[in-house]
Amino acid sequence: MPPRFAEKKVPPYSFAKAVGSNLSLLALGLKYFVNPNRITLDYPKEYIKLRDTYRGFIILKKAKCIGCESCARICPAAAMKMIKLQIKDPKTGKPKLKKYPVINYQRCIFCGYCVDVCPVEALYHIPVHDVVYMNLEEMKWNLEQFQVEPKSPAVGEGAPVRYVFDPERGLVKVRVEEGGGK
Ligand code: SF4
Ligand code: SF4
């Protein structure tokens, strides 16, 4: 048996309603023409001030790392791998190999699993996401790079802004103090 649909009643055409709708749209257009709500980010003259808890670039505290490999194993994007480095055994004084992670930012999806799983808090996020690379190879960080926090090219140059919801105007862009606001 074919499915039955409820018949939808179309209201009769009302010239007054049509004119009213068009006028209200024109009034809305006029309102934003007079008082525009521009939210486009004028980067790098402006940049989004990220929260301190933002999951941005990940940095390694090498001295804390115990080489357990948990970060590389849990990574769902195969962005992290372990390398072996020859170090001096603090107990025996003899050379030995120790494992450390390195990261490929071509692949990282910033899920934060590696940071969460690390048993000794050797990895941490920084609230930076707009780092410039000249080519893809630069996105593969070696052990030295993995320990240095990259800088956003806009921070220090542009004005920090944030997007907030205004009940009257919707999404609006507001200036925030540099260093302020968590
Ligand atoms: S944040 Fe996620 S994708 Fe990036 S290296 Fe860590 S586990 Fe892998
Ligand atoms: S999970 Fe932590 S301790 Fe283990 S290898 Fe990764 S960074 Fe080092």
Contact residues of ligand 1, CB 6 A cut-off: 58, 74-75, 77, 79-80, 103, 108-114
- Is the beta carbon of 146 within 6 A of some atom in ligand 2? no
- C-alpha 53: how far from its chain's center? 11
CA of residue 169 relative to chain centroid, distance:
25
| Ligand 2 atom 8 nearest Cα | 65
What is the rounded CA–CA span in Å between residue 108 and residue 21? 48
Is residue 84 exposed (0-12), middle (13-18) or buried (19+ Cβ within 10 Å)? exposed
| Ligand 2 center to 108 CA (angstroms) | 16
Q: Please tell me the predicted confidence (pLDDT) of residue 36.
A: 85
| Domain residue limits, the chain | 58-147
pLDDT for res 168: 81
Predicted confidence at residue 182, as pLDDT, reads 47
Query: What are the tokens at 108?
Result: 């990282």
Give residue 180's pLDDT: 47
Residue 55: phi, psi to the nearest 5?
A: -85, 80
Hey, CA dihedral for 107, 111, 113, 118, is it positive or negative? positive
Nearest by Cα to 112 from 129, 97, 130, 91:
129
Q: Tokens 């190879």 — which residue?
A: 137
Q: Which amino acid is at 61?
A: K
Measured from the Cα of 114, ligand 2's closest atom is 1
Quick one: CATH architecture of 58-147?
2-Layer Sandwich (3.30)
pLDDT tens, residue by residue, 19-54? 999 999 999 999 889 988 888 999 989 999 999 999
Nearest CA to ligand 2 atom 3: 65
**For ligand 2, is residue 116 a contact (CB within 6 Å)?**
no
List, for the chain, all residue ranges whose pLDDT scores fall below the cut of 70.
1-3, 178-182
